Structure 1
């Protein structure tokens, strides 16, 4: 997470700026501009590299001499290679004059992209002055996506998308603006690349939510990722996560993940539907546990479907359908003959049913199952090297033997 903290230098506004007493009014206009877009326009890639401070000085001089917006991108081209940025003219603090927000990636003289910058210029006493700047390391994109009033303050905030590339690729979304006293970062979140970021008023409250769609996987340690969509909304004081929804996946471990999430939420009927799909749909694709032979997809299929069937046995008893439990047991007897991959879960399922029929609670039956795993299968079923133990930190995991059974 250290690299993420470094990156927050791009969006963390550490310097507070008092609202300037000399803010320009309609009678103290800044030099005229040929075009004044209220939607971001992208600065095309440049060809050279140079010094960021020189660029800022040239932009200020150019604007204060009345240079039109159309000349900004050749100016950046003079100094930067592979620049991926944007520029926006809009009133961002409610002072009835237009600020200039400029984002770009700084490329050093060796041709390496080293940081991104967001610069805000304010019109003060008929002249543009730089009022904010911030940098972040290892960034290859910094784009202003939109300028909307996302917090109901009466003037817009910038929605900035910036991409960090290192051992992984992270797409960040930040809401940046004036809070009445200073420029600040109201919110930052990220998903792994590529992410799609947008705003949407889904509930008709006239405040747009921030919606980001990406993946929960960034490198080999996290395993096979999947797409998800997160929605954040302003609650009057901060942005809060309103929903996080995984997209459908063709991988069996992700169906197991959906089932586990349903179990965690106490929605056992929904969990049963997911486990039934994981147990029976052959078209789903296998990913072996990281602790197993990555080439043994047959064993991965056997263990993952057997585990799904075991969970079905426990959950059908939870919803008081012992007839369905017996049906799953019979299916397992056919699919997992003795001493074959997956037959261990048949043995555990039968033990669970036997305990419940003898009067044990579901939690007590799970304790007996855990003791059986500890005695006979301490490493092979669950845990870091187990067959259904670990598929990377982005996915569901069963690290302790007690995790195999759902009731604790």
Structure 2
């Protein structure tokens, strides 16, 4: 109803600046700290469009661009928030120096009560499509609005999305740092990922697993060793000290065996020493023993993995203990745990 009333007012020749003043100061529809403009041309047709953030009487919050098309004022673009706050305008002029004005928005969203975030859009009017299009990839989200900076002094702005959340029960542990999006002449693309060192042991193990699965066994070995030795790494779950220690040793042994490293003997002895009680041996230590003993008897890494997967089939905790880290963490299968 609010959008229709604004459109009707503008089509009757109403003054846009007066409208913004009334919406902000008389009706409390446009928040005092929200950017509203009636002097910027977004379509390139030579006349200004009207940018209005709003919180309607029924509680809907959003932002709309009103402009003229075929002699009639209509809504050219609208973004709606699922909270009681309208999207934040971070930039409203030409961000990428393509001689078209852009609109950089941080749209608040709260998928759950404990996970509020911002979805970022950089929209510009496309004459070819006769509509606004997003120049950013889909699903650019963060816990705080991004920044617009020019790192390389080329007068084309980069968009910096700070990754500040360490994670929630829903997402699992997250890496902090920055994603930097740069203009490639057609759209903004992720050009630089600057991650801070991992805080949690499981994050280091995930990194090692990625290296192992892509066949970079030397890197995987180094990463697993660091996960074992780094006492500053934190635990996401209370039971992780025993679980992740045995998992890291199992993976370290795998990486060493496929490289024919003499250190595999030392690692196996370490496993035997730490887990010397057969009644209390974690599943990953059992898998490590079976893997090495089968490999030694068959000289075939595929046969060793078949024996390990037999253990996994009878021990649901082997996968369950890895697949509990939330929606943003890797999901494991039996094949992932012994991929050879």
TM value normalised by structure 1: 0.67
**Paired residues, number:** 333
C-alpha deviation, 1:388, in angstroms: 3.2
Counterpart selection for 1:404 from 299, 314, 337: 337
C-alpha deviation, 1:165, in angstroms: 2.4
What residue in structure 1 maps to residue 230 of structure 2? 281
**Counterparts of 1:41-80 in structure 2 under 5 Å?**
51-54=2-5, 64=15, 72=20, 75-80=23-28
After superposition, the C-alpha distances for 1:42-84 in whole angstroms (9 at most, x for unaligned) are xxxxxxxx945556667899983876xxx94674132236836
What residue in structure 1 maps to residue 209 of structure 2? 260
C-alpha deviation, 1:234, in angstroms: 4.6
Distance, in Å, in 2 between the alignment partners of 1:245 and 1:368 is 40
- 2:132 equivalent to 1:184: yes
What CA RMSD, in Å, does the superposition of the two structures yield over aligned residues? Answer: 3.8
C-alpha deviation, 1:302, in angstroms: 0.5
- 2:116 equivalent to 1:169: yes
What residue in structure 2 maps to residue 136 of structure 1? 80
After superposition, the C-alpha distances for 1:175-230 in whole angstroms (9 at most, x for unaligned) are 21122242312245335551341345567776544332336888644334443543
Counterpart selection for 1:116 from 62, 66, 71: 62
Pick closer, same or farther for the CA change 1:389–1:65 going to 2, 3 Å.
Answer: closer
Pick closer, same or farther for the CA change 1:266–1:62 going to 2, 3 Å.
Answer: farther
Pick closer, same or farther for the CA change 1:135–1:351 going to 2, 3 Å.
Answer: closer
Gapped regions of structure 1 (runs ≥ 5):
1-49, 289-296
Distance, in Å, in 1 between the alignment partners of 2:300 and 2:104 is 53
Asked whether the 8 Å contact 2:63–2:79 carries over to 1, the reply is yes
- 2:276 equivalent to 1:364: no
- 2:318 equivalent to 1:381: yes
Gapped regions of structure 2 (runs ≥ 5):
none
Pick closer, same or farther for the CA change 1:239–1:264 going to 2, 3 Å.
Answer: farther
SS of match in other structure, 2:336: helix
TM value normalised by structure 2: 0.79
C-alpha deviation, 1:239, in angstroms: 4.4
What residue in structure 1 maps to residue 251 of structure 2? 311
SS of match in other structure, 1:248: coil
Asked whether the 8 Å contact 2:55–2:86 carries over to 1, the reply is no
Asked whether the 8 Å contact 2:142–2:163 carries over to 1, the reply is yes
- 2:10 equivalent to 1:86: no
What residue in structure 2 maps to residue 28 of structure 1? none
Pick closer, same or farther for the CA change 1:287–1:342 going to 2, 3 Å.
Answer: farther
Counterpart selection for 1:301 from 222, 241, 266: 241
SS of match in other structure, 2:236: coil
Pick closer, same or farther for the CA change 1:171–1:66 going to 2, 3 Å.
Answer: closer
Pick closer, same or farther for the CA change 1:82–1:73 going to 2, 3 Å.
Answer: closer
Distance, in Å, in 2 between the alignment partners of 1:66 and 1:184 is 23
After superposition, the C-alpha distances for 1:339-387 in whole angstroms (9 at most, x for unaligned) are 365543333223222333345343332222112332xx421322xxx33
